[in-house]
Amino acid sequence: MLIQEGGVIAYASRKLNKHEELYVAHDLELATLMLTLKLWRHYLIRRSFELRTDHQSQKHLFTQRDLNARQRWWSKFMSEYDFGISYIKGK
């Protein structure tokens, strides 16, 4: 969901590709983040925003030492954006 000032602006979803069905949970969460950053780039680029997630490991994305090739590529792509990640307990 894309939310501004407490109101929902947009929703996004899509079906997983065959190869994405094999991703571990952490990579699925990152794939979701990549989808939203690409879809809503025009809203988010050059703006500071907060990403809220119920997947706690996302908080440590930029401080992890051992990233696989896909995670390194995604991390590089995300570095174009100015955002913080906060954990929200729940689903």
> Phi and psi (nearest 5°) for 69?
-60, -40
Q: Quick one: which H or E segment has residue 80?
A: none
Q: How confident is the model at residue 10 (pLDDT cuts 50, 70, 90)?
A: confident
The stretch 61-82 carries a mean pLDDT of 81
Q: Is the pLDDT of residue 50 over 90?
A: no
Q: How far apart are CA 72 and CA 40, in angstroms?
A: 21
pTM of the predicted protein model? 0.72
Q: How far apart are CA 21 and CA 85, in angstroms?
A: 25
Q: Is the pLDDT of residue 16 over 70?
A: yes
**Alpha carbon distances (Å) from 30 to 5, 6, 7, 10, 76:** 25, 24, 24, 19, 12
What the block records as the tokens of 78 is 């995300």
The stretch 31-53 carries a mean pLDDT of 88
